[in-house]
Copies of this chain bind each other. A is one copy, B any other.
């Protein structure tokens, strides 16, 4: 398991039997993990294969590491053009390059949903009720993410009364919801629909890595932004700690809606 930061890695590791857990140096997860450096990726892959590893799962957030030119081993150094090109691309391209390099070494990469299908909700309303205006806002949000997907910007947006309040970019979801909270007073009709935070994977993205993730903190942040609820593409988003997320949504009066992709 390649563990990243946040609450996904502990949830996945708990479901694995006797896993080897590694993490990119500088991005220590909340569980014990042996660090590796991107500058020594090829020896690291050799080490995994030598110790009998055949399958790898990625779980958790990793940012682009800074690279130390002196730390490269000769074989990883030959990958530098690919690594640099990947790091200068959007998230999706960068992660696809990482998956490619792992698979070229002979390891197979499996998805979190293969290991823990319950983490990826199917269609349905988990709590609360959606108004017609909420459903319109969610549908517009889904349309915005479908259209911006090829640009590889982010996996979330906030739409209220048909208007896009925020679109996720490099700084991520929490930064976007903080932005929406700062500017919550801009809704045209202060008595109207409060708006929806929507998440979906990018169209065509590799679902073995970097699925958008929601959890109890998302609910708290959406409530702080004055939103009516959270919607996401059913089957394409990880929901961490579902019971706590639902409890917080109930307490704050938010809906949680795992939307059919064609809603």
A interface residue numbers (CB < 8 A to B)? 63-64, 66, 87-90, 143-144, 147-148, 150-151, 153, 161-167, 169-171, 175, 179, 182-183, 186, 188-190
Asked whether A190 lies within 8 Å of B66 as measured between CB atoms, the reply is: yes
Asked whether B144 lies within 8 Å of A153 as measured between CB atoms, the reply is: yes
A87 to chain B, nearest CB (A): 6
CA distance A87 to B161 in the complex (A): 9
By beta carbon, the residue of chain B nearest A160 is B170
Contacts of A186 in B (CB 8 A): 63, 170-171
By beta carbon, the residue of chain B nearest A190 is B66
Contact of A87 among B164, B167, B179, B188 (CB under 8 A): B188
Asked whether B148 lies within 8 Å of A189 as measured between CB atoms, the reply is: no
Given contacts A148-B151, A170-B186, 17 further A-B contacts (CB under 8 A): A64-B188, A66-B189, A88-B188, A90-B164, A144-B151, A147-B147, A147-B148, A148-B148, A151-B164, A153-B164, A153-B167, A163-B170, A164-B170, A165-B170, A166-B169, A175-B183, A179-B179
CA distance A27 to B211 in the complex (A): 44
Contact of A161 among B63, B88, B163 (CB under 8 A): B88
CA distance A66 to B64 in the complex (A): 45
A203 to chain B, nearest CB (A): 13
CA distance A166 to B66 in the complex (A): 22
CA distance A143 to B151 in the complex (A): 9
Contacts of A151 in B (CB 8 A): 143-144, 147-148, 164
Contacts of A183 in B (CB 8 A): 170-171, 175
Contacts of A63 in B (CB 8 A): 186
CA distance A110 to B165 in the complex (A): 30
Asked whether A162 lies within 8 Å of B66 as measured between CB atoms, the reply is: no
Give 18 pairs: A residue, B residue, CB < 8 Å, sorted on A.
Answer: A66-B188, A66-B190, A88-B188, A89-B162, A90-B163, A90-B164, A144-B151, A144-B153, A147-B147, A147-B151, A148-B151, A153-B164, A164-B170, A166-B171, A167-B167, A171-B186, A175-B182, A179-B179
6 shortest A-B CB distances, which residue pairs? Answer: A171-B183, A64-B188, A88-B162, A164-B169, A163-B170, A153-B164
